Amino acid sequence: MAKSRRPGQPGRRPESRDQRPCWLILCGGHGEQRYFESIRRRERLTATIVTCLSATSPHQMREECSKQGDRRQLDPELDRVWLVCDCDDFPCFDEVVTNPGETTSGLAIQVAWSNPRFELWLLLHFRDWSAVCAGSRIDAELCKQAGFETYKHGEDPYELVRAHTAAAVQRAGQLATRRQDEQSPPHGCPSTAVHLLVGGLLGITSSAAAGT
């Protein structure tokens, strides 16, 4: 029979803090915000913070992102800041991706870019894509995929793609490798670095995904 514990007697050690990434994810659109909020809730990433910036252009987003250092005072364990942005024909896109800067607290800003837009990352859950094209074509191709027939730009798609996340990480990694082999700019069209953010959150790497 187990012994009862007297009041005030030390009991079981409390569970340690969630060991998954303690990251701040700053999104430039409500669709991206809904996607990462769904990941946070569905995968129980309690140490991750997701918010939507009021800015729209990558340059304005970077400026707003750099001022987020005060959040580290609220949570000293915050160790990475991610900016999620699209090209969408903004002329400042290249400069922001290659020179993202850092927050006022000294954290380097990581950029999870998509060129031409975030829907490329969603499309990679279903198929490879290497054609240079406008965002509207990416949207059209995405709407051909199961569950996306009535999808509208900005809606939360996570449950539709969740089962294919490892495949998307693999395809995005392969796309990045092809661009490197072709000596193309890593952030040129088409390209995305969202797999680095999602893979980091969920513990998936492109090499591990290739083995699945």
Per-residue pLDDT at 70: 60
* Percentage of residues in the chain having pLDDT higher than 70: 83
Distance, C-alpha 79 to centroid of its chain: 15
Residue 23 in this model has a pLDDT that exceeds 60: yes
- pLDDT number for residue 76: 67
pLDDT of residue 211: 58
Class of residue 199 by CB neighbours under 10 A (exposed 0-12, middle 13-18, buried 19+): buried
Q: Give the per-residue pLDDT at 5.
A: 44
Mean pLDDT of the 52-75 span: 77
Percentage of the residues of the chain whose pLDDT score is greater than 90: 54
Strands (E), the chain: 23-27, 49-52, 80-86, 109-115, 191-192
User: Which residues, listed in sequence order, are joined to residue 45 by a DSSP beta bridge?
Assistant: none
pLDDT of residue 15 exceeding 90: no
Instruction: Answer yes or no: is pLDDT of 166 > 70.
Output: yes
How crowded is residue 125: how many other Cβ atoms within 10 Å of its Cβ? 22
Query: Quick one: how many helices (H) and strands (E) in the chain?
Result: 10, 5
pLDDT in tens, 107-121: 889 999 999 999 999
For 5, counting Cβ atoms within 10 Å of its Cβ (0-12 exposed, 13-18 middle, 19+ buried), the class is exposed
How many CA atoms are closer than 13 Å to the CA of 173, on its beta-carbon side?
18
Q: Name the amino acid, one letter, at 186.
A: P
Token pair of 21 as six digits: 């990434």
Task: Give the H or E element holding residue 200.
Answer: helix 194-202
Per-residue pLDDT of 64-85, as tens digits, reads 888 775 665 556 678 889 999 9
Query: How is the chain split into domains, by residue range?
Result: 23-210
* pTM given for the model: 0.84
What is residue 199's predicted lDDT score, i.e. its pLDDT?
96
β-strand 191-192 against 109-115: which pairing, if any?
Answer: antiparallel
Q: According to the model, what pLDDT value does residue 69 have?
A: 57
State whether the Cα torsion 30-165-19-38 is positive or negative: positive
